[in-house]
């Protein structure tokens, strides 16, 4: 099992926290956001972790060290996470987790995903309010996802 963490963007919506620090290294509580993901992945037995870097990538590399592999997005300032994922496409040859670097979650969620009979399971916090312009999820009565997008209407 592999994980790809998209961490190339500059995180402008978190400015001024990201003016001198990449979004994935912004602390939440006692640790940078990405540490929660890496720790949860390792607890779940996922040791093959790739991080797509761009903005202030030297800080990310210095923080994470040699314990992960890196994919570089040199065009991070003019592209988006889909392009970062495209750059990591050669690593998508096996079952994998995919994360944006700014998602903090309880480690048990990974265990539940690993136990899921669905080969393409997605974890969604149904208690979180939908916010216009943020990544939202829409699904039908059968609980199948119909859309994941920043354009999903809040209504």
Indicate the range of 42-51, 72-81, 136-145 predicted with least confidence: 136-145
In whole angstroms, give the CA distance from residue 89 to residue 67.
20
Give, rounded to a whole angstrom, the gap between the first and last alpha carbons of the chain: 36
Rg over CA atoms, the chain? 16
For residue range 126-153, list pLDDT tens digits in order.
888 888 888 888 888 988 889 988 888 8
Using CA atoms of 76, 80, 85, 86 in order, give the dihedral in degrees to the nearest 10: -90
Dig out the tokens for 141 from the structure.
Answer: 């009565």
The answer, yes or no, to whether residue 98 has pLDDT greater than 90, is yes
At residue 33, the pLDDT reads 96
């Amino acid at each position: 099992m592999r994980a790809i963490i998209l961490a190339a963007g500059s995180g402008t919506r978190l400015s001024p926290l990201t003016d001198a620090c990449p979004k994935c290294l912004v602390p939440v509580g006692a640790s940078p956001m990405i540490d929660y993901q890496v720790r949860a992945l390792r607890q779940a037995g996922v040791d093959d972790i790739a991080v797509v870097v761009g903005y202030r990538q030297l800080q990310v590399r210095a923080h994470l060290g040699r314990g992960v592999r890196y994919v570089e997005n040199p065009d991070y300032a003019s592209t988006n996470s889909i392009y970062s994922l495209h750059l990591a496409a050669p690593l998508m040859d096996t079952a994998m987790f995919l994360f944006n670097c700014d998602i903090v979650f309880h480690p048990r969620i990974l265990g539940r995903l690993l136990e899921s009979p669905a080969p393409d399971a997605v974890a969604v916090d149904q208690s979180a309010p939908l916010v216009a312009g943020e990544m939202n999820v829409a699904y039908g009565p059968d609980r199948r996802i119909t859309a994941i997008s920043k354009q999903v209407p809040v209504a």
